[in-house]
């Protein structure tokens, strides 16, 4: 069974860069026809798609975050990563990584990132 696990700092200072990694087990991150995505959820609010990467390496970003977001992959470690620059308190959220073929069937448990000085 595919499993995804987010990891990274739980606290980031305003104006700094948020960096998270999603480690994939039970399957290859190079598997064809799958999207690997990042989704976030501010406390008490709804889900927001951040960006996705196709197995081929193509990336897609939420237009509202595009200038600050980078998704990359490390196939040797079976991981993919999220970088979000110039964070503010509005970026405080639970961040999820997920895999799917459009819809997302497999999700990590999520990791809370708080932006605060």
Partner 1 sequence: DIQMTQSPSTLSASVGDRVTITCRASQSINNYLAWYQQKPGKAPKLLIYKASSLESGVPSRFSGSGSGTEFTLTISSLQPDDSATYYCQQYNSYWTFGQGTKVEIK
Question: What's the closest the beta carbon of residue 14 comes to partner 1, in angstroms?
Answer: 26
Question: What's the closest the beta carbon of residue 83 comes to partner 1, in angstroms?
Answer: 19
> Measured from the CB atom, is 27 or 100 closer to partner 1?
100
Question: What's the closest the beta carbon of residue 65 comes to partner 1, in angstroms?
Answer: 11
Question: What's the closest the beta carbon of residue 35 comes to partner 1, in angstroms?
Answer: 8
> Measured from the CB atom, is 10 or 102 closer to partner 1?
102
Which residue do the tokens 């499993």 mark? Answer: 3
User: What residues line the site for partner 1 (CB under 8 A)?
Assistant: 37, 39, 46-49, 52, 60, 62-63, 96, 98, 100, 102-105, 107-110
92-96, Cβ contacts within 8 angstroms, sequence gap of 24 or more: 92/42, 92/43, 92/116, 93/40, 93/41, 93/42, 93/43, 93/48, 94/40, 94/41, 94/43, 95/6, 95/20, 95/38, 95/39, 95/40, 95/50, 96/6, 96/38, 96/39, 96/40, 96/41
> Measured from the CB atom, is 10 or 63 closer to partner 1?
63
């Amino acid at each position: 069974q595919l499993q995804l696990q987010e990891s990274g700092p739980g606290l980031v200072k305003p104006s700094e860069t948020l960096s998270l990694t999603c480690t994939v087990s039970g399957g290859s991150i190079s598997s064809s026809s799958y999207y690997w995505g990042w989704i976030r959820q501010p406390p008490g609010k709804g889900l927001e798609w951040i960006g996705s990467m196709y197995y081929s390496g193509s990336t897609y970003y939420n237009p509202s975050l595009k200038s600050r977001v980078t998704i990359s992959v490390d196939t040797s470690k079976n991981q993919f990563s999220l970088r979000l620059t110039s964070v503010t308190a509005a970026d405080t959220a639970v961040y999820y990584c997920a895999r799917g073929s459009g819809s997302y069937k497999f999700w990590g448990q999520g990791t809370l990132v708080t932006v605060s000085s």
